[in-house]
Amino acid sequence: MNDFLTLEFKFSESHTVFPKIVLSILVMLLILIVINQVIQRYKDGKLTDFNFKFFTGNYDKLKFYGTVALLIGYGLTLELLGFLLSSILFMFLIMLLYIGNLKRKAILLSLANSILTSFIIWFVFGQMFDITLP
């Protein structure tokens, strides 16, 4: 008998449960945001005046396109280098991109942070929880 608080799934599909829950929550939040915006525009009398801009005129193009390139590169290197090396490299480069200076201290802190964080994530999820990482 199925009830509201019971969740049944096959073991082969168990890794998709949490992402599906998160996706469902995000879709519900998106719907709430859209409804809120429509109500606000209706109250302001600007329901038909739609002037949406995703970016402001002065957004940092280097950080935006650099982040997109690094995310694509991270996805491509996961199979080639594995989770640990790809994550260390990605975190190191993205931190340098956002810090903005290439002084010795910034480089060393970025390297230490990327190595430590990647190892902790690998250990907790890959070793303790036995979750398969790429």
**Is residue 66 domain-shared with residue 115, that is, in the same domain?**
yes
Q: How far apart are CA 30 and CA 86, in angstroms?
A: 31
pLDDT at residue 125, rounded to an integer:
86
Q: Which two tokens stand for residue 125?
A: 């999820």
Cβ-based neighbour number of residue 35 at 10 Å: 10
Q: What is the pLDDT of residue 121?
A: 93
Q: What is the pLDDT of residue 52?
A: 66
CB 114 within 8 Å of CB 91: yes
Q: What is the structure's pLDDT at 103? A: 93
Low-confidence ranges of the chain (pLDDT < 70): 1-3, 7, 9, 11-14, 50-52
Q: Are residues 30 and 69 in the same domain?
A: no
| CA dist., res. 120 & res. 15, Å (int) | 20
Token output for 4: 């509201």
44 with 1, same domain? yes
Looking at the structure of the chain, the number of domains it has is: 2
Say what the pLDDT of residue 9 is: 67
Please indicate, yes or no, whether residues 71 and 88 belong to a single structural domain of this protein.
yes
pTM assigned to the model:
0.66
Tokens of 81: 């280098």
Q: Are 97 and 91 in contact (CB under 8 A)?
A: no
Report whether 89 contacts 81 (CB < 8 A).
Answer: yes
Domain that includes residue 8, residue range = 1-52
Give the per-residue pLDDT at 50: 67
